[in-house]
């Protein structure tokens, strides 16, 4: 891996992790198009995923600090006596986030090998991008929902997140689309979609760290790792900010055209 490749992969991870165009789909197509030389090492994957994790943590830093503070208060002796662990908004939101993780965990542990095989089939990935585009375009007709997330809606978004394990299906695109159609407001659905992925990213990084401990640490240049982290973090932060702006302006469905274009190119090229 050279420096330009590290920057490219960092940008690819940072931008496509948050924009509803499927980061896994883009990586699978990039591997098929450029060859196996573009496949990053496991250490590099951890670094760029950590960049995405930090993007969300920095963007939602105030909300995360408020959540952690309220959760600690809810489970303090006073909070338990006053049953804040039941009534506090941020604590209940944390419960819903945990609930939303269940589908992805089940799919990840039971279908890991089958899903990994799809990464080697760029034609199927291209079809999934067409599916993502259709889903995104459908949000044009979602109206202007005004509700907040609850356990049922959060779990449905969790199912959408589990489906996004398939390369070509966008995680942010599917979760936000499902949230809009269940009646969650655009501001609330964006917040929940990106807060719910924090534990998933943390879990993915943990699994990769365990794989490193089992197989040994890859020796990589600090420059390449730093370039990957910085490009993933900076591009991810601005991609997240830009997506929320477009979502509030009801222009979320615009990404459908991009997904259709890339998916159609892949179907023709890899047929």
The domains of the chain are located at: 3-270
Which residue bears the tokens 């202007």?
144
The percent of the chain in helix, strand and coil, each rounded to the nearest 5, is 80, 0, 20
Pairwise CA distance, residues 198 & 54, whole Å: 9
Place of tokens 């401990």: 213
| Higher pLDDT among residues 88 and 206, named by residue | 88
- Report pLDDT for 202: 84
Q: What is the DSSP letter of 3?
A: H
Residue count of the chain, please give it: 271
The count of other CB atoms within 10 Å of the CB of residue 223 is 10
- Cα separation of 127 and 264, whole Å? 8
212-267 pLDDT, tens digit each:
666 655 555 678 888 889 999 999 999 999 999 999 999 999 999 999 999 999 99
**Mean pLDDT of all residues belonging to the chain:** 88
At 92-141, the pLDDT tens digits run 999 999 999 999 889 877 887 788 788 889 999 999 999 999 999 999 99
Cα distance between residue 19 and residue 14, in whole Å: 9
pLDDT for the residue 255: 96
Amino acid 34: pLDDT: 74
Cα–Cα dist 59/127, whole Å: 32
Instruction: State pLDDT tens for residues 157-186.
Output: 999 999 998 999 999 999 999 999 999 999
Would you say residue 40 has pLDDT above 70? no
How far is residue 56's CA from residue 66's CA, in Å, rounded to a whole number?
A: 15
Q: What percentage of the chain has pLDDT greater than the value 90?
A: 58
The larger pLDDT score, comparing residue 60 to residue 204, is at 60
Q: Give the pLDDT band of residue 36 (cuts 50, 70, 90).
A: low
- 162 neighbors 104 (Cβ within 8 angstroms): yes
Residue 252: which residues within 8 A CB-CB, separation 6 or more? Answer: 20, 136, 139, 176, 180, 186, 243, 246
Question: Considering Cα of 259, then 261, then 262, then 266, what sign does the dihedral take?
Answer: positive
Chain-centre distance of CA 248, in angstroms? 19
């Amino acid at each position: 891996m050279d420096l330009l490749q590290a920057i490219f992969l960092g940008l690819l991870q940072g931008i496509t992790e948050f924009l509803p165009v499927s980061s896994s789909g883009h990586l699978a197509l990039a591997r098929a198009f450029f060859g196996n030389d573009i496949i990053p090492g496991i250490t590099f994957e951890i670094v760029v995923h950590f960049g995405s994790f930090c993007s969300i943590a920095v963007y939602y830093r105030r909300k995360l600090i408020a959540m952690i503070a309220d959760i600690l208060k809810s489970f303090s002796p006073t909070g338990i006596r006053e049953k804040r662990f039941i009534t506090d908004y941020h604590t209940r939101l944390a419960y819903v986030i945990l609930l939303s993780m269940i589908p992805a965990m089940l799919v990840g542990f039971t279908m890991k090998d089958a899903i990994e095989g799809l990464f080697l089939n760029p034609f199927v990935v291209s079809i999934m991008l067409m599916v993502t585009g259709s889903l995104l375009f459908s949000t044009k007709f979602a109206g202007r929902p005004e509700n907040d997330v609850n356990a049922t809606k959060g779990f449905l978004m969790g199912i959408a997140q589990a489906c996004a394990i398939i390369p070509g299906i966008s995680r942010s695109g599917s979760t936000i689309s499902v949230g809009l159609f269940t009646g969650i407001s655009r501001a609330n659905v964006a917040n929940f979609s990106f807060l719910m992925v924090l534990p998933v990213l943390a879990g993915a990084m943990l699994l990769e760290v365990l794989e490193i401990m089992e197989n040994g640490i890859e020796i990589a240049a600090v420059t390449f790792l730093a370039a990957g982290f910085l490009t993933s973090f900076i591009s991810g932060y601005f991609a997240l900010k830009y997506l929320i702006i477009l979502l509030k302006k009801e222009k979320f469905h615009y990404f459908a055209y991009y997904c259709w274009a890339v998916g159609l190119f892949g179907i023709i090229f890899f047929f």
